[in-house]
């Protein structure tokens, strides 16, 4: 599928600079910022100890997005955030 081809292309990238080049071609600056923000929210949520409001104050991400990231961390079956976060540690 086209989706599989996209993921295969990403898997073929060899380093951060190649990822940066590809994502700057593929995504708008806002899309990249949104993805960076969501990952930061996931990191803050996984550490615990902060309210959604405190995370909003730190990141400027909307409470709606914070709630969505929290749902994907804890309730959705994909568990992609948790996979990425577990490999960062």
What does the H/E/C string look like for the chain?
Answer: CHHHHHHHHHHCCCCHHHHHHHHHHHCCHHHHHHHHHHHHHHHHHHHCCCCHHHHHHHHCCCHHHHHHHHHHHHCCCCCHHHHHHHHHC
CA dist 17 and 81 (Å) reads 22
Q: Show pLDDT as tens, one digit a residue, over the chain (89 residues).
A: 999 999 999 999 999 999 999 999 999 999 999 999 999 999 999 999 999 999 999 999 999 999 999 999 999 999 999 999 999 86
Give this prediction's pTM: 0.90
């Amino acid at each position: 599928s086209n989706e599989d081809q996209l993921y295969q292309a990403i898997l073929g990238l060899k380093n951060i600079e190649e990822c940066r080049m590809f994502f700057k071609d593929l995504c708008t600056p806002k899309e990249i910022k949104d993805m960076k923000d969501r990952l930061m929210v996931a990191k803050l949520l996984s550490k615990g100890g902060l309210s959604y409001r405190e995370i909003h104050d730190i990141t400027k991400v909307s409470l709606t997005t914070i709630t969505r990231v929290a749902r994907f961390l804890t309730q959705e079956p994909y568990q992609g955030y948790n996979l990425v976060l577990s490999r960062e540690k």
